[in-house]
Amino acid sequence: MKHRLDKLAKVAKRDGARIGIVSTWDVENNAVRILAASLREADHHCAEIYFKDWLSNHLDPATDQQLENLVRVIRREQLNLVCISIRASAYAQQAQVITEYLQERIDIPVLWGGMHPTLVGDECIEHADMILQGEGELALVDLADRLRDGTSIDDTPNMWVRHSPGEVSKNGLRPLVQNLDDLAYRDFTTHEHKYFINGTSYTIGDPMKGDPVFQMMGSRGCIYKCSYCYNSTYKKDVYPGQKWFRVRSPASMVDEIKKAREHWPMKRVRFDDEVFNFQKKWLIDFCEIYPREVGLPFEIFIEPKLVNEERMTMLRDAGLVSVYMGIQSSERVTGHLYDRRVKNQSIEDIAAMYHRLGVKPHFQLIYDDPVSTDADKKALFEMISSFPHPYDLYLFSMTVFPGSELNKKLLSNGLISKYDIEGLNTRVFYQHRVNLQYPRPVEDTFWIALTQMLSKPFVPRSLLRTLSKSETLKKHPWPLIQMAHASNYVKMGTTCVKMVAAGEMTPTLMRRWLSFDRVITT
């Protein structure tokens, strides 16, 4: 607490700020990479520490050996401050375990940053010595500058500083960065200040090295306000009145890709924006510069209301091969629960258009909500059964973020308790993507098993439609579960063969997906 901060001020003034940023269960972590790059660009020492990774829909808690390896890395790098990136609220409990271990074992101050400390700061500051709220690049560099220069950190914007259990300096947020081109590019180089802690040992270097897909973001925020998403809370409560959706220039995005290709043998690019920017002038510029300067196949995330044939044709001609698009649930549930109002017919027309253009869609669905009726689940199944192959389905289990509109809706109607909200709830550790072993109502398992088989072209749709009418299977879906598992194994096998043939089967993918006891639906 105060003695740790006093010690930090003393050693940082002498040695400079030596900061380690810990990514929890995520080796891609865009936030960690850009924070590290921002610190290095400002001539501060920074170590990136990727602490574990998610494995086929199952996240094992930290072990004593892994925590001790974290201590070894901290000592090797001679760090004087550790920052933990909490990319989702479910990781808060493990962040607490890591924090307590480091504070007790080596008495080092720990800072928490990310979505969770931004939304529930009062809970987080009880455990961390400091928290960083909101966008972190400028704030973390400011903190490092103050530590190096020997000036007070107590009034650093975006920072809360805990001096004692009852004494916390709480500072407001600086304005959002509006020109994203001013920020440093994420650091994907491989050097001695990157670590991956997993299993019983740690390795030095970037854990993403050699991955065929280069993931990047060309924007921040979102233009929509879906109830389940943290964006709606950030836009309304955290940064009210500020422009939340901001976009990089196509030239900046292309330049980052070109620099990364100097040491990254990427084969395609995935733009991980909440929604890919569809502003007409920007899109024309992107579709002109990207194929000329990059020329790699690319993938995007998109929202149904933004899709039209002109835009998709432009992107297809520029190299678009895949889209990720949320359907979420039936028309009724998606509109009233998730605040996304799109007609089933519009979704069906979009699916047909993707097929016509030769763009492969990956449709995202949300299950395990407390309001869907049997009729809703049947309507979702029937809509998807109309989609032309090929397509993939990504089935997610409903996650309730603290402070989200979904949280408020379900709590106020008595449909969930506080223990169903991420943070106290840790469902993502074993059921973020849907698997059929999860103890849900048998009727839900029935519809999930049927729906996920729709994406397999080798499973006759006529058979699935016939099975969907069986009241016996609805009450006793075990045969369907086995059929669904078998179809998943077939699809996984053929996909793996294709990836091996294309040189895209990396150690990271093998580690994540080849666990047959926890097969997820695809």
- Mean model confidence pLDDT for the chain: 92
The Cα 34–Cα 137 span in angstroms is 7
pLDDT in tens, 17-45: 999 999 999 888 889 999 999 999 999 99
Helices (H) and strands (E) in the chain, counts: 21, 17
Structure token pair of residue 418? 């506080």
Structure token pair of residue 500? 């091996």
Distance of CA 207 to the CA centre of its chain: 17
Are the C-beta atoms of residues 433 and 397 closer than 8 Å to each other?
A: yes
Strand, coil or helix: what is 505?
coil
Are the C-beta atoms of residues 236 and 225 closer than 8 Å to each other?
A: yes
Mean pLDDT of 101-125: 95
Q: Return the residue matching tokens 């990089």.
A: 248
For the cut 80, the answer to whether the pLDDT of residue 418 exceeds it is yes
Q: What is the pLDDT of residue 58?
A: 72
For residue 247, the cross-strand partners are 219
Size of the chain in residues: 522
Q: What is the pLDDT of residue 56?
A: 65
| Residue 43 neighbours by CB distance under 10 Å | 11
The Cα 216–Cα 53 span in angstroms is 19
pLDDT in tens, 257-270: 999 998 888 999 99
Q: Read off the pTM.
A: 0.92
Q: Which residues contact 67 (CB under 8 A, 6 or more apart)?
A: 97, 98, 101, 102, 105
pLDDT in tens, 48-80: 999 998 776 677 899 999 999 999 999 999 999
Mean pLDDT of 173-180: 97
pLDDT in tens, 433-484: 888 888 899 999 999 999 999 999 999 999 999 999 999 999 999 999 999 9
**Angle made by CA atoms 452, 371, 342, in degrees to the nearest 5:** 70
The Cα 411–Cα 498 span in angstroms is 46
Helix (H) or strand (E) holding 290: helix 280-293
Task: Give me the amino acid identity at 238.
Answer: V
Torsion of CA 479, 481, 486, 489, to 10 degrees: -170
Q: What is the pLDDT of residue 88?
A: 81
Task: Give me the amino acid identity at 32.
Answer: V
Find which of 117-126, 186-195, 506-515 is predicted with most confidence, using mean pLDDT.
Answer: 117-126
pLDDT in tens, 294-313: 999 999 999 999 999 999 99
pLDDT in tens, 213-245: 999 999 999 988 899 998 888 988 999 999 999
For the chain, list the domains and their CATH numbers.
Answer: 2-194 (3.40.50.280), 210-434 (3.20.20.70)
